[in-house]
Chain A
């Protein structure tokens, strides 16, 4: 169980070490992290990985998002390109005619954009892609719904927005996710303490572009990904790059 506190006490130099992926955190590499202990070191074929759509990030994550796992994405503000990283997974679910569940989303998933995206990527049998939105009244209901959905086995991708999941809640999600062949993503704000055991934890930081000229061809915003936790690798901070584009947006 990784117990050293992170965040506030981090010294600048440790930070640089971190950047170069030179700091090794015990127990991470070999047995693929405690959370999947019961299975032993099962091999994961490529099919179980969904790309993030960004080669650098895929490589850093050892091939992309692993299915049967719970991945956490932390963003300073909602709507900063986080969904574009999950697009390949969503489309894979669509072509496998497995439902995508939007659990407590910050706004309404817009049907024309979803079907536009499916059409553009001309996903096979896109016509029976099911998207189900749930807006539970309380976080307890949200958790219950997530578990019920995962237990039902009828899910391709589960997207869950929650700001204060307890460690036990996360562990229950892990157990449930392990029994399905779905991708589970938890999207939250920036979290300081690291107690919860996610397969991967990615923090997305948007840095505004310096010049804010009204010129038509102004450079897009800059984004930086910080992988705070990943399977079989050190936390690493990737260089800034332009904000990824949601597939259906043509600028």
Chain B
């Protein structure tokens, strides 16, 4: 006996649960490429909008439509999360992405002999999720699904649009007045095979349950979680290092078994009567050695004050990923504390602060201050072909007195991005068509561009200046060291 749970608007309902104020408007989730509605709420539905109607129709029918992008990955994640939740009650689950899943009731017979009890359990488990769903009961998965989707009572009445066969075949069946599953099942199987083809006959067999349905079953996702109660209340970091070490060793063992490394550790310290203290450690590059992870944890722990004595502590390692190859340089030799570059960078970022350790990279843009960008520490610099650039760039241009400088080379003229300026100050106004009226003949420079010059100051230092036509003043952009 199978139950199929159909969740027509899982993602939308979860969004509404988190932001109830949206509930009053016509809400749709649309797919970007096909410009089609995927899920819609009640208000949108009774305005005539339904799943896979076109977005332009939706705009037509609902003046104040609130469209949001449908996120494929999030839908998958939510379905898995829901299944994991149901897993605590129903042992055999099979996902049917994007918005359905099967529950096999047979193994549950012992626990809930009467089907109604299983249904109550299901409703109980789904209640906190606040999602719309309807479900169908059938002795084969396919029948259960079709009943859930079509919402009819008897199997015979299932309209053939819900049969999983290609639309052309469905069209032909309608043309012969065969509109329901019952009508199809009435035809002698051999004759149906001749007239309507083998595919339909196999489908009927699956529906009758004559063929075994191969579903792949759901396993909850894996991450490492371990909790430890301390022998005695401890309040100092030093004391906490030993239990931490033990937990990390178990983590190392877990990761070793799976040849994985983690990039996110969550330490939770539980106090007696106040909120537990949480400590998150993100790693730019994956780690798995207990000693290495201990060093990182210690760096972070030093900077965090413990509000009260700690009774228990737990560690959770997420974002597990297969081990990257860089770690092979242990045999580099040499003295104490040799470490790989990624590890060094991790350490530097943890201690100095993530934003204070970065690489520099070129960027394809004319304007000097946009021609570079921050990049991940340790990345290499790509080639560029612009000659004559200063080694040093001031974080922000400094105004200068042009009298103290003597211009050597230039100008290089660049136009700052007009689309970032609001229309008011944009160096831009609609030029009257020269054909008609006479354009004011005075020599209108393209307001707002900059002329860059290499120049030397009184002390002889070569610098890089630019004159801004909008502000009509000179600025120092950088130095040729």
Contacts and interface: CB of A to CB of B under 8 A. Distances in A.
A and B touch in the complex (CB under 8 A): yes
A148 interface: yes
Interface string B352-367: 1100111111110000
A129 B380 contact: yes
Contact of A221 (B379, B385, B392, B461): B461
Contact of A83 (B371, B391, B409): B391
B340 A130 contact: no
Given A110-B372, A221-B459, A152 B339 contact: yes
Nearest to A119: B383
Contacts of B348: 134, 145, 148-149
A107 B351 contact: no
Contact of A179 (B335, B380, B463, B481): B335
B356 A137 contact: yes
Contact of B481 (A83, A141, A218): A83
B409 A251 contact: yes
Nearest to A141: B352
A154 to B, nearest CB: 4
A129 B408 contact: no
B392 A108 contact: yes
Interface range for B: 35 or more
Contacts of A248: 387-389, 391
A57 B238 CA distance: 53
A107 B478 contact: yes
B381 interface: yes
Contact of A220 (B379, B391, B456): B456
Contacts of A206: 459-461
Interface stretch (A21-29, A192-200, A208-216): A208-216
Given A116-B387, A208-B458, A79 B392 contact: yes
Interface residues of A, number: 67
B386 interface: yes
Given A152-B344, A251-B409, A106 B392 contact: yes
A37 interface: no
Contacts of A118: 381
B176 interface: no
B330 to A, nearest CB: 13
Contacts of A79: 392, 461, 463, 479-481
Interface in B300-345: 332, 334-341, 343-345
Contact of A107 (B347, B387, B479): B479
Query: Which of A81, A115, A120 is the most central at the interface, judged by chain B CB atoms within 10 Å of its CB?
Result: A115
A162 interface: no
A126 B383 contact: yes
Contacts of A250: 387-388
Interface string B398-425: 0000000011110000000000000000
Contact of A136 (B352, B363, B389, B463): B352
Contact of A133 (B358, B363, B463): B358
A30 B389 CA distance: 45
Enumerate the 9 nearest inter-chain pairs by beta-carbon distance, A residue then B residue, closest first: A221-B460, A83-B481, A79-B479, A110-B393, A113-B389, A111-B372, A152-B344, A107-B392, A111-B360
Interface of B: 332, 334-341, 343-345, 347-348, 351-353, 356-363, 371-373, 377-395, 406-409, 454, 456, 458-463, 478-481
6 contacts: A107-B478, A109-B392, A110-B391, A115-B382, A207-B460, A249-B390
Given A132-B378, A135-B356, 18 more contacts: A107-B393, A108-B372, A110-B360, A110-B389, A110-B478, A112-B389, A115-B362, A119-B384, A130-B378, A134-B356, A145-B352, A151-B337, A154-B341, A221-B459, A243-B462, A245-B480, A249-B388, A249-B454
